[in-house]
Structure 1
Amino acid sequence: MRRILLAIVLLGAAVLAPASAQPALSRRVGTTVADTGAPGYRFEQFRVDSADGQRHYRVRVAVPTRSAPPQGFPVAYLLDGNAALMEVDAALLARLADASRPPVIAFIAYDSDLRIEADSRAFDYTPRRPGGDDAQRDAIGGRSNGGADAFLALIETSIAPRVQALAALDGTRRALWGHSYGGVFVLHTLFTHPRAFDLYAAADPSLWWGGGHLLKEESTRPTATDTRVLLWVGDAESSSEARQPPPGRDPKAVQAMRQARRSVPPDATAQMAARLRQSGMPVTFTTLPGLSHGQTLGASLPLLLDELSGDPEKGR
Structure 2
Amino acid sequence: MQGAGRVGPDHARKAAALRIFGQPVATHRLSQMAVNAGPGHRLFLAVPRGAPPVAGWPILYLLDGNAAFDFLTPDLLALAPGLMLAGVGYDTDRQFAREQRTLDFTAPEGPGDGIRPDPVHPGRMAGGAALFLDRLTGPLRQAAEAAAPVDPARRTLWGHSFGGLFTLYALLTRPGAFARYAAISPSIWWDEGLIRRVADSAGRMAAPPPLLAALGDREKRSGSDGPPPDGPAPATMRFLADLRDRPGLSPQVHVLPGLVHIETIAGSLPLVLPFAAA
**What is the TM-score when the length of structure 2 is the normalising length?**
0.86
SS of alignment partner, residue 177 of structure 2: coil
SS of alignment partner, residue 11 of structure 2: coil
Q: Evaluate the alpha carbon distance shift between residue 266 and residue 303 of structure 1 in structure 2; reply closer, same or farther with a 3 A threshold.
A: closer
Residue aligning to 1:141 = 122
Residue aligning to 1:306 = 274
1:146-193 per-residue CA deviation (whole Å, 9 max, x = no partner) reads: 211111111111111122222221221111111110011111111111
Aligned counterparts of 1:74 and 1:93: Cα–Cα separation in 2? 14
2:83 equivalent to 1:73:
no
Residue aligning to 2:6 = none
2:164 is aligned, of 171, 183, 186, to 183
Residue aligning to 1:30 = 17
Higher share of residues assigned helix: 1
Contact 2:186 2:236 in 1 (8 A): yes
Q: Evaluate the alpha carbon distance shift between residue 56 and residue 28 of structure 1 in structure 2; reply closer, same or farther with a 3 A threshold.
A: same
1:150 is aligned, of 131, 142, 145, to 131
1:45-85 per-residue CA deviation (whole Å, 9 max, x = no partner) reads: 2222344xxx2111011000111123321111100111111
SS of alignment partner, residue 177 of structure 1: strand
Aligned counterparts of 1:284 and 1:33: Cα–Cα separation in 2? 29
How many residue pairs get matched?
Answer: 261
Aligned counterparts of 2:59 and 2:156: Cα–Cα separation in 1? 6
Residue aligning to 1:49 = 36
Residue aligning to 2:257 = 289
Residue aligning to 2:210 = 228
Contact 1:122 1:138 in 2 (8 A): no
Which protein shows a greater Rg?
Answer: 1
1:3-47 per-residue CA deviation (whole Å, 9 max, x = no partner) reads: xxxxxxxxxxxxxxxxxxx54322111242133341121123222
RMSD over aligned CA atoms reads 2.2
2:234 is aligned, of 267, 273, 287, to 267
SS of alignment partner, residue 77 of structure 1: strand
Q: CA deviation at 1:141?
A: 3.5
Contact 1:119 1:144 in 2 (8 A): yes
Contact 1:61 1:106 in 2 (8 A): yes
Report the AA paired with residue 96 of structure 1.
A
Aligned counterparts of 1:118 and 1:110: Cα–Cα separation in 2? 10
2:90 equivalent to 1:103:
no
2:27 is aligned, of 32, 40, 45, to 40
2:107 equivalent to 1:127:
yes
Contact 2:18 2:69 in 1 (8 A): no
Aligned counterparts of 2:122 and 2:172: Cα–Cα separation in 1? 27
Q: Evaluate the alpha carbon distance shift between residue 195 and residue 158 of structure 1 in structure 2; reply closer, same or farther with a 3 A threshold.
A: same
Aligned counterparts of 2:221 and 2:132: Cα–Cα separation in 1? 30
Give ranges in structure 1 of 5+ residues lacking alignment: 1-21, 238-242, 247-253, 256-264, 311-316
Aligned counterparts of 1:227 and 1:95: Cα–Cα separation in 2? 23
SS of alignment partner, residue 208 of structure 1: helix
1:88 is aligned, of 72, 75, 85, to 72
**What is the TM-score when the length of structure 1 is the normalising length?**
0.76
Report the AA paired with residue 90 of structure 2.
Y
1:229-264 per-residue CA deviation (whole Å, 9 max, x = no partner) reads: 111111114xxxxx3644xxxxxxx69xxxxxxxxx
Q: Evaluate the alpha carbon distance shift between residue 135 and residue 94 of structure 1 in structure 2; reply closer, same or farther with a 3 A threshold.
A: closer
Q: Evaluate the alpha carbon distance shift between residue 174 and residue 134 of structure 1 in structure 2; reply closer, same or farther with a 3 A threshold.
A: closer
Q: CA deviation at 1:140?
A: 2.4
